[in-house]
Chains A and B, each alone.
Chain A
Amino acid sequence: MTTPAEAVQTFTDALARRDVDAAMAVTASRVSVTVHPFGLYEKDAAVLRSVLADLVRAFPDLMISVSRVITTGDVVTVLLKAEGTQADGYAGAINTEKHLDIDQAWRFVIADGSITEVTAYWCQAQLYRRLAVKRYDQIAIA
């Protein structure tokens, strides 16, 4: 039986390899997805797949460094840093080939070895600052 920590490690290891399919393999089809920086609140694996795929596409040299994994029952919280060089538009920001490094927290709920809930926290102000965005109401103008 896969433990909650093992399921999440499979997910984060896969993301670190930029392997979206492998990350989604441990995710329930009706996974609840909350990505606060994007204002995303959905219950659909396709939404999570799209979030991960966009990240990997925009930052093809993406590096994920996990600093802490905290297991509290069937909830696993991962603190990580995402780094990469922008190579395509991301979150509305045009590609200016800037380097991104951003600390994030991902909270997972696991049931029967599958991830049933994902909630992601990071600061979009930090992200836009690194991607040379100047105004929230003009994100595509660098």
Chain B
Amino acid sequence: MTGVIQHPRTAEAAAEVVAGFFDRYGAHDVEGMTDLCSMNADISYVPVELWGKQRVLRGDGKVRTVGKPLWAGLIASFPDLTVTVHTIAGNDEGDVVAQVDIGGTQQRPWGLIAPAGRHYREPHLFVFQVGTDLLIDSITAYWNDASISQQLGHQEVD
């Protein structure tokens, strides 16, 4: 008889999955980050909102359709992107909260911000839900986009 060995979802195991996610983020391995998420995983990047004339585009959706392009775009615009994890804490229900600094030097346009070779570093709070299969089911993140804009020399509130 063959079968997959399933490790139980403990607080430590869930936190380990998230630590692996950020290791891959720091290595600019978007496919690897995605591989740690379930097929239908949700993402909510709360500060992301692009105001058009008739609608607002938000950073809410699925990891594979919203998350991947955001991660790949950020890495393309900031090729020296660094990911510094300060704390990761989980519980046995699969909730994991992480305090992380993300930063880099802008080489390509990012949103409406033209590249000026400036560097930013910004604290983020990530909230993950890790499923019993030890795959990430949801990612929610908070940060201050105004600070990033100002660090990059962009003064307009878009």
Binding site for B on A (CB under 8 A): 36-37, 39, 68, 70-73, 75, 77, 79, 103-105, 107, 119, 121-129, 133-137
Can you add 12 more A-B contacts, CB < 8 Å, to A71-B91, A77-B127, A125-B158?
Answer: A37-B146, A75-B87, A105-B125, A119-B99, A119-B125, A123-B47, A123-B143, A125-B157, A127-B146, A134-B156, A136-B149, A137-B155
Q: In B83-131, which residues have CB < 8 Å from any A CB?
A: 87, 89-91, 95-97, 99, 123-125, 127
Interface size on B, residues (CB 8 A): 30
Report B-chain residues with C-beta under 8 Å of the C-beta of A121. 123-125, 142-144
A125 engages B149 (CB within 8 Å):
yes
A129 engages B89 (CB within 8 Å):
no
Across the interface, B145 reaches (CB within 8 A) one of A70, A77, A125, namely A125
State in angstroms the CA–CA spacing of A36 and B147 once bound together.
Answer: 9
Closest B residue, CB atoms, query A37: B144
Q: How far does the Cβ of B155 sit from chain A's closest Cβ, in whole Å?
A: 5
State in angstroms the CA–CA spacing of A139 and B123 once bound together.
Answer: 22
State in angstroms the CA–CA spacing of A126 and B11 once bound together.
Answer: 33
